[in-house]
Structure 1
Amino acid sequence: MGHMPVRRSTALPRASRSITIVMTIDGLPVTVTRKPIKNMYLRVARGTGEVTVSAPLRMRDGQIAEFVRSRQNWIAQQIARAQTRTLDGGCDSHCGDGASGVGGGQGEGTEEPHFLGWTDERKQQAAHMINAALPGLLAKWGPVIGRTPTHISLRIMSSRWGSCTPKTGRIRLNLQLGLMDPKFLESVLVHEMTHLWNTRGHGPEFQQRMDMYQPNWRQLKRELNRQPIL
C-alpha cells in the first residue's frame, strides 16, 4: 500500500443524511459512508475481507485516506484472515458477521476506531469511565469469585488487556478498556480476579472457575481479541 493517488467512484444510493462512495486508496477499494457521527470507524468484513469506513459528514477524503494508510498492517492481517477462512471452506458459527468495536457498533466484521494516539483528555476520559464502573463491578463479582484485589491500577499497555500479581493481590488494567464496550472491562476484571486464586496459567482449574463464574467468557475473549490494542 504505497502512496498512490486517491480515487473516488460515484456515490451509491443510501438513506437520507448519509453519503456512500468507493475510494481507491493505494490500490485498495474502500467503501466510505459519511453520516452524522462524531468518530471515524474502519471495518474489515470477516467473511469477504471488504474494507469499509464510516466517517463524519464533514470529514475530508485526505483525512480518510491518511487513517486507512495508518492502519495498513492491521487491514492486511484482517484480509489475510478472511482469505484463509475462504480457503478453509468458509465460516463456522463464530466467524460470521457480528463483531462490535470501540464505540458500540453492531458490526459486520472486525472494527477499529479512528484513534491515532493518546491525549490527556482521552486518558482522563478512559480513567473516569473505569473508575466509575469499578465499585459496582467489585461489589458484584467479589462475592461470586471469593477474591478481591488489594489494589487496581490503570495503565497504557501495548500487548495485553490486564495482568495481576496473585501474591500481592494487585491487578493492572489496560486504560483502553475505558473507551470500549463496558462488557470488555467486566470480562477482563473477572479474568484477573480469577487469577487471584493463584491458578497456574490458563489451565483446567482456571477454565473451570471461569466456566462457573462467567459461562460466556470464551465468546467475550474471542470478541476482545479481535480488538486492536492501541
Structure 2
Amino acid sequence: MITQLQIGELEVDVVRKDIRNVHLAVLPPDGRVRIATPPQVGDEQVRRLIIDRLSWIRSQQQNFEQQPRQTVREYVSGETHYYQGHRYRLRVTYVEAAPKVQLRNRQILELQVRPGSSVEQRARILQAWYRERLKEQLPAVVAKWEPVVGARANAWAIKLMKTKWGACNIEARRIWLNLELAKVAPHLLEYVVVHELTHLLERQHNARFKSLLDQFMPQWRTSREELNGGMLAAFEEYGTGE
C-alpha cells in the first residue's frame, strides 16, 4: 500500500510491505521521494528518518535537475537514440516491406517501416531490435562473470522496467535485466549483471554486499555513478537509494 506523507514542502511516498529494512530512494526524473518500510514502522518514525536524510535528499534532487534527459520519443528522423553507449541519429524510411533496423557507420540508426506506421508501432519495432541485441550480448557476459561471482542464475529474462536496472528473485534464482541496458556501454551492462548475481549470495544492500562487489569488481562504484549519471533514466537500486 502506498500513502503520502507531507514533511514541510516535501511530499513523500510511503510504501509499507513485508521487508526487513527501510529503503529510501529519490526517483528520476523529478526527484520524487519514496521510502519503503516494514509495516510496523509508523509515520513519526518515517518523518524522523526523512528529516535525518534531508540534506542527502536535496543533493540527489539537485543532481537530477542538472542531468540532461532524453526527450519524449516520436521515432522520427533526426532524433538521437543510443546503442551500447554510442549516440546514433535516427533515420526513418518508409517502404512496402517488412520492418527492419540497421546500424550504418556508427552514426545512423535506420528504422525501416511501412508507410502510415504509428509512433507506437515504430517504438515496438525498435524495442524488439534492442531486445534481440541485448539477448545476443548476454550469454558472453554471463559466462564471464558467473565463475567470478561463484553464483549461477537458473534463468535470465529481459523486460522494460521503470524503476530498476535489474531485479533478482533469489528463491527462483531468476534475474531480470532492464531492456534499456541495450543502450548503455557494455561495461555498465556487466556491472548490472555482477550486481544481480551478487544478490544470489547476499539479499540486502548491506556492508557484506558491498564487500563482495569490491572483491568481484573493484571499480563498481565508478560504473554505478556512470550508469546513473548518463542520458538514460537513473534508477534507485543502483545509486540513488539508501
Using the size of structure 1 for normalisation, the TM-score is 0.49
Report which of the two has the higher share of strand.
2
Output the TM-score relative to the length of structure 2: 0.47
Q: State the structure with bigger RCO (CA 8 A, min sep 6), 1 or 2.
A: 2
